[in-house]
Structure formats: C-alpha cells, structure tokens
Amino acid sequence: MKVINLVFNLLFIEGILSKEYQGSKEKRDSAGGDCQYINKWLGKNNAYDCCIEYGITCENNHITKIQIENNNLTGSIPREIGKLLFLTDLWLDHNQLTGEIPIEIGDCASLRDLSFGANELTGPIPSELGKLKNLEKLNLYNNKLSGPIPSDIGKLNKLNYMDLSNNQLSDTIPSDIGDLVNLQELNLSNNELSGPIPSEIGNLTRLEKLNFHKNKLKGSVPSEFSKLTQLRSLDLEENMLDADSITPEIKNLPNLTELRISTQKLPTINYITIAIGVILLIIVIIAIIYYMKRKNNKNNENSITKVYEKQIDNTNSKNEASCRIEIDSNTSNDESNSTSRMIIQPQQPKQPQQPQLQAQLQYQIEQQEQQLQQQFQQLQQMKQQLNQYEKPEVSISVESNSKAKTKEQEAKEEKQLQQQSQYIATPSAPVVYEDAPPVYEEVVNKTQNSYY
C-alpha cells in the first residue's frame, strides 16, 4: 500500500513539473515576437530569447518589464521600444545612454513606471509622454535634457511622482502641472527655470514634497500654497523669490517640517568689486582723453615750429648775403698804389619771439634789400665818374702840388687815404684833404653822402 502511494505521488509530481516546464517553454517562445524589437539593442540575434536575460520579465506571451539598471548600457534608446504595448515598467537608470528620448515611447500605453535617470540623454522632453495615461512615476533626473517642460505632462492624471532635477530645463513652469491632482512628490531642482511660480500648484492637495531649489524663479510665493495641507517639505532656496511673501498660513501648514527659502542677492564683496571696476574704467577713460589732447597740442606746436623755422632759414639765407663794393683808385705816385674798399653788411634782425611777427620781419627784409640795391647803384655811378678822369691829369695835378709838400704831409695824406678806404658803414664827418685836387674831394664827399 505504501509502495502504491509512493508511485502515485511520484507520477503526480512528474506531471506537475512537466506542465510547468511546458508552460515555461511556451512562455519563452511566445515572447519571441517582442524580443525581436530589443535583441539588436541587446547585441543578440533576432532568434534569441530575450526573456532569459537579466532584468527582462515576460508575462502572458509579452515583455512586461525591462529593469536594466547599472549595467553600462551605451548607445541610444531604440525606437522599436514603442512597439512593446504590454510594457509596464521601463527602468534604465545609471547607464551611459545618449541621444534623445524617442517619441515612440508615447505608444507604450501600459507603461506605469518610466525611469531614465543618471544617463547622458539630451534634447527636449517629448510631449508624447502626455499619452501615457497609466503612468504613475516619471524619473528623468541627472541628464542633459533641455528646453521647456511640455504642458502635455499635465494630462498624466495618475502620476504621483515626478523627478526632473539636475538637467538644463528652461522657460517657465507650465501651469498645467496643477492638473496632476494625484502628484505626491515634485522635484524640479537644479535647472534653469525662470519666471513666477504658477499659483495652480496650490491645487496639488496630495503633494508631500516640493523642491524648486536652485533655479531662476522670481516673484512671490503664491498664497495658494496654504492649501497644501499634506506638504511636509518645501525647498525654494537659491532663487530670486521674495522671502517676505510667504504668508503665516504657509508657515503654519500642519504637516510642514522643512521650509527653505532665500533671496538671491549680490554679496557685499560683489558690490565693492563692481564699484572698483567702474572707478578704474573712469580713470582709464580720463587718461586716454588727456593723452589724446596732449598729443594733438604737441603736433600743433611741431607744425608751427617747422613753419617758423623754415621762415627763419629763408630769412637767414637772405641776410647772410653780403654786398662788397670795391673802389679802386690809382694815384700818380709810383711809391703808393692804394685800394679803397667799402664793405656794407646789414645787421641780422633778431629772431622773432612770436609767429605773428613774421609779416613784419618779411617787410623789413624787403626794405633792406631795396636800400642795398640803391647804395650799390650809387657806388657804381661814383666809380664810373672816377674812371672818366684820365690818369695823366690826376698825376699832373698831384705832381704840381706835391712839390710844395713835405714828406710829412705826404705821409699824413697817405694815412688819411688808408683810413678812408677801410671805412665800414660807420657814420662820420666828411674828410677834407689839404692840397688835394678839387675833383678828388668832390668824389669822396659824394661817396660818403651816398652811403648815408
């Protein structure tokens, strides 16, 4: 009897195991249709049964969960993943995924938990996520996502958790977030969001944690926050919000245990640095203006000096010219043959002290030139008159009178003639020679008078 019972039990257990094996085999084979969409991404061939892979769950002949975290996945998320219509959980956190989030994910109508945190995803958040009516959790933290938060996210009525922190999201917070009535935790910290906080957030009555830390939000804290009776943590630090706008009702929320807010003001050292920079800039500008004016004045002085020096050079070149007039007189005495020379050198004018005297200086130079020409013409005429008298007549007249002269008189006359020949433009009384011929005396007197 015991043996029969033992055999019966063995057969019963074998049947159960056989059915489980067949069901398991049928399950793996039936999921092959979904596996073809991700086998290439996993580096497998199309016939590979992906259900045996770590992190992939198959139920009811379909892939229902992909939970591959911390597995060094690279590349971009395949677009074919949108064909997994029975996928409920998609966890790809802490990998090295790049590229943009494919818009085809919006076709995964059964998706409840979507998590792409801690990757290197770029581009905008696709508005197609608003089609995931069953989505309860959305994790896109620690990526490089940019652009605005799509307003279609407000259509996720079942969403209770959303973390978009540590990205590069910009623009304003959409007021449609106020439609997420089941939201319990909202984290938008460490982005570049700007503008005011929408008052519609006050409609999230189930909200427990709200984090807007380190953005560029401005304005006041909406008084509608006083309706967030379930709120336990509120972080508004490192924004440009008015801290005084928090009403006592917000501060006294029944479950609020953490409240952080600060106004982003410039430190005092920044004001000092700006002031010093402005002062230095003004000093530099003044120095440049002073230098330019000084340079212009110097150029003007140089130009005037060059013109003035040129005029002085022209004046000197004219004044340096001298007029030498030689008057040769031959006497009848064989012992003395003297030459009378007259050198006329006009005095050089003093160097003008000011440029406005140039016209006066030029006029004086012209007058002196005219006087010199007149004197030169008079001397030429006198020389011609002397040459008209023949040498024998002069010698006879001299010889007739020389007999009565003594040697002392002759020496005296010779000395007087030498003094007269060396006369240099110095006014003096006319010289009268004793016993000199009347013609000679007349010539000498005319010479002296013509010079004056």
Residues 425 and 278 occupy one common structural domain: no
CB 140 within 8 A of CB 129: no
Asked if 312 and 444 sit in the same domain, the reply is: no
Q: What is the DSSP letter of 204?
A: -
Whether 12 contacts 20, CB under 8 Å: no
Residue 132: give its domain's CATH number.
3.80.10.10
- CB of 24 within 8 A of CB of 49? no
Q: Would you put residue 246 in left (φ > 0), alpha (ψ -120 to 50) or beta?
A: beta
By CB atoms closer than 10 A (0-12, 13-18, 19+), residue 309 is exposed
311 and 354, same domain (yes or no): no
The answer on pLDDT for 252 being more than 60 is: yes
| pTM, entire model | 0.56
In the block, residue with structure tokens 């401005």:
218
Judgement on whether residues 119 and 247 belong to the same structural domain of the protein: yes
Q: Give pLDDT, residue 275.
A: 81
Whether residue 404 is found in the same domain as residue 309: no
Domain identity same for 238 and 278? no
Using CA atoms, how far apart are residues 433 and 431, in angstroms rounded to an integer? 6
Tell me the pLDDT of the chain averaged across its residues.
77
Rounded Cα distance, 78 and 43, in Å: 12
* Per-residue pLDDT, 270: 59
| Cα distance between residue 3 and residue 14, in whole Å | 17
Q: How confident is the model at residue 311 (pLDDT cuts 50, 70, 90)?
A: low
**pLDDT at residue 414 above 60?**
yes
Q: CB–CB of 106/129 below 8 Å? A: yes
User: Beta-carbon neighbour count of residue 112 at 10 Å?
Assistant: 15
Q: Report yes or no: 444 and 419 within 8 Å, Cβ to Cβ.
A: no
Mean predicted confidence (pLDDT) in 438-444: 46
Q: In this predicted model, what pLDDT tens digit does every residue of 214-234 receive, in sequence order? A: 999 999 999 999 999 999 999
Burial (Cβ within 10 Å: 0-12, 13-18, ≥19) of residue 233: middle
Domain count, the chain: 3
Q: Are residues 129 and 203 in the same domain?
A: yes
Q: What is the pLDDT of residue 181?
A: 95
Condensed to tens digits (0 to 9), the pLDDT of residues 80-133 reads: 999 999 999 999 999 999 999 999 999 999 999 999 999 999 999 999 999 999
pLDDT of residue 76: 95
Q: Do 143 and 244 belong together in one domain?
A: yes
Query: Residue 74 and residue 42: Cα distance in Å, rounded?
Result: 10
Give CA–CA dist 17/381, Å, rounded: 161
**Cβ proximity of 100 and 121 under 8 Å:** yes
Which among 266, 289, 312 is the end of a domain? 266
Whether residue 103 is found in the same domain as residue 247: yes
Residue 346: pLDDT band by 50, 70, 90 thresholds?
very low
pLDDT band at 306 (very low <50, low <70, confident <90, very high): low
Residue 427 has pLDDT above 70, yes or no: no
- The yes-or-no verdict on residue 171 having pLDDT over 80 is yes
Is 429:320 a contact under the CB 8 Å cutoff?
A: no
Average pLDDT over residues 304-323: 53
Which residue range is the domain that position 29 belongs to? 2-266
Query: Is residue 105 within 8 Å of 80, Cβ to Cβ?
Result: no
Phi (first) and psi of residue 28, to 5 degrees: -65, -40
- The number of CA neighbours under 13 Å toward the Cβ of 337 is 3
Residues 126 and 203 in one domain: yes
Is 126 in the same domain as 255? yes
> Are residue 225 and residue 237 in the same domain, yes or no?
yes
